[in-house]
A and B are shown apart, each in its own frame.
Chain A
Amino acid sequence: MERLMKIDRRLLYLVAVVVVAVTVFFPLGLPVKVSPLAVQTYDAIQNLPDDSVVFISNMYDPGAAGELSPMLKAMLYQCMERKYKIILGNTSWTLGAGLAHEIITPIAQEFNYVYGTDYIELGSKPGGVVWLQSARIDLAGAALVDYNNDPIGQFPLMQAVPKLTQEYVAAALVLDCGTPGAPDWLAQITQGTSMKLIVGEIQMTVPDALTYVQSEQYTGMIAGSRGCAEYEQLIGHPGAGLKTQDTMSVITLMITLFIVLGNIGYLARKK
């Protein structure tokens, strides 16, 4: 029994790889039940006024792209089906700008969105909360150029949104994996205003973010990969989130088994 404590970790990694590979090739087709939080998030975006402008902030880099890129894709699908105007950009997450560009470009083409009129990419601006403060006062002055380094002032969408405030932007959809992130958007932009703040969180930060949902500071939240799978079901565009749920279920069982075996070994050693 004590040998359970001495299992080579490389053997555990090998078991994990085999489990993942098997479930990837032979999916179990387990159902994914949609939670009330996912419905709340979907409704929050769906019920925005027609012709709303939404600011989608991809506050993440390649380290979190595995969970947040499918969320961004799903959010873009819902927003473009509702024909919202979209401003896409972030502050301080420079590596995320290219990731977002790769995601939004084919979806915009699919929905015949015109760049500069229906949507615009701001790229990534330095400054974090300082940039958010500046954007609240003068968005074009804070952004200066778009993702392609063209001056912002020439685009009709940016002329229609001079400030990042509730008068011009109906909702901020923030994909968050660290600092600066959604709490900074809350503190700087949406706190005490009618602008809705809907977030997509990595699984790791979901427990912290739930306090903001409970206090209604976040209007909705896509909670990790499971939340993304539920959200994809609601919008009718199954994607990477839904595809991984079978494997995640098996991985969860596997980890639970490892923990139980480890604890059995520990208790046996204690005796």
Chain B
Amino acid sequence: MHPHISHDLAIWCQAICTLAVYTYLYKDNPIFRVAENVFLGLATTYIFVFQFFNYIKPAVIEWIWTNGEYHYILAILLGLAIFFRYVPSLSWIARYPMSFWVGYGTGYTLAFWPAVWLDQVTASFVALNSLQNILIFVGVLCTLVYFFFTLAKENPVVAGVAEVGKWYIMIALGSAFGNTVLYRWNLFLTRANMLLFKWLGFAS
């Protein structure tokens, strides 16, 4: 098992940045800060340049210049108005595009999402012909009762049902936590594979 270190500059950059970020595990340090800020700067620049050439420039040329759809200029001005937040005396202008976005988001949610949620509500009406279905039915009801804060929890029936709901919620949160931990470990594993096999060149 002999290493054959890569001669690829891109791989070396990956390896150096990965190790620089992992120095944070020891303690916060300038190497980590440099890597973090280099990534932020590079990512921001890449996103801006890519979006400019992949969307903004062709959109301006085709829609406004070629097709003469000048109303898009208003949309561009509305979007640029967000930068007024950096001018203290004119920062109130930035509220207009923000309110547009909030309004659109609210309208979008109310228009498109009820159909999605209703499908899930109807999917919870399951035939009680298997243990899994019974568990789903019990879980949905008990969890809903847990969140009925206007029901008197002094009532022993309500309290008991809400307690079952609480256990369902804890199990669900535990499952979410466990999945999150595994996800983070898998990301580390990917980096470890890169360092060991692509950078150091150990045979896999």
Contacts and interface: CB of A to CB of B under 8 A. Distances in A.
Interface of A: 10, 13, 17, 20-21, 24-25, 63-67, 94-95, 97, 123-126, 129-130, 144-145, 147, 149, 151, 183, 186-188, 191-192, 202-204, 206-208, 211-212, 214-217, 224-225, 240, 243-244, 247-248, 251-252, 255
B183 to A, nearest CB: 4
Nearest to A151: B58
Interface in B11-55: 25-26, 43, 46-47, 50-51, 53-55
Nearest to A133: B108
22 contacts: A10-B25, A17-B192, A20-B189, A25-B1, A66-B186, A94-B47, A94-B50, A124-B51, A144-B62, A145-B54, A191-B112, A202-B183, A204-B179, A204-B183, A207-B172, A207-B175, A207-B179, A211-B120, A215-B122, A217-B120, A251-B189, A255-B185
A129 B188 CA distance: 31
A218 to B, nearest CB: 11
B152 to A, nearest CB: 30
Closest 7 CB pairs of A and B: A66-B190, A215-B123, A203-B183, A144-B58, A204-B183, A187-B112, A94-B47
B46 A95 contact: yes
Given A67-B186, A206-B179, A95 B51 contact: no
Contact of A203 (B53, B58, B186): B186
Interface of B: 1, 25-26, 43, 46-47, 50-51, 53-55, 58-59, 62, 104, 108, 112-113, 115-116, 119-120, 122-123, 136, 172, 175-176, 179-183, 185-193, 196, 202, 204
Nearest to B182: A203
Given A130-B104, A217-B120, A251-B182, 10 more contacts: A21-B196, A66-B186, A66-B187, A144-B59, A187-B116, A204-B179, A207-B179, A214-B123, A248-B185, A255-B185
Nearest to B188: A20
A13 B184 CA distance: 13
Contacts of B54: 97, 123-125, 145, 147, 149
Contacts of B187: 63-64, 66-67
B143 to A, nearest CB: 12
Contacts of A206: 179
B58 A225 contact: no
B43 A95 contact: yes
A126 B193 contact: no
Nearest to A63: B187
Contacts of B185: 248, 251, 255
A129 B109 CA distance: 11
A98 to B, nearest CB: 8
Contact of A187 (B58, B113, B120): B113
A147 B203 CA distance: 34
A106 to B, nearest CB: 16
B58 A216 contact: no
B180 to A, nearest CB: 5
Nearest to B186: A225
Contacts of A130: 104
A156 B47 CA distance: 29
A24 B195 CA distance: 12
Nearest to A255: B181
Contact of B189 (A66, A129, A183): A66
Nearest to B179: A203
B192 A224 contact: no
A65 B190 CA distance: 9
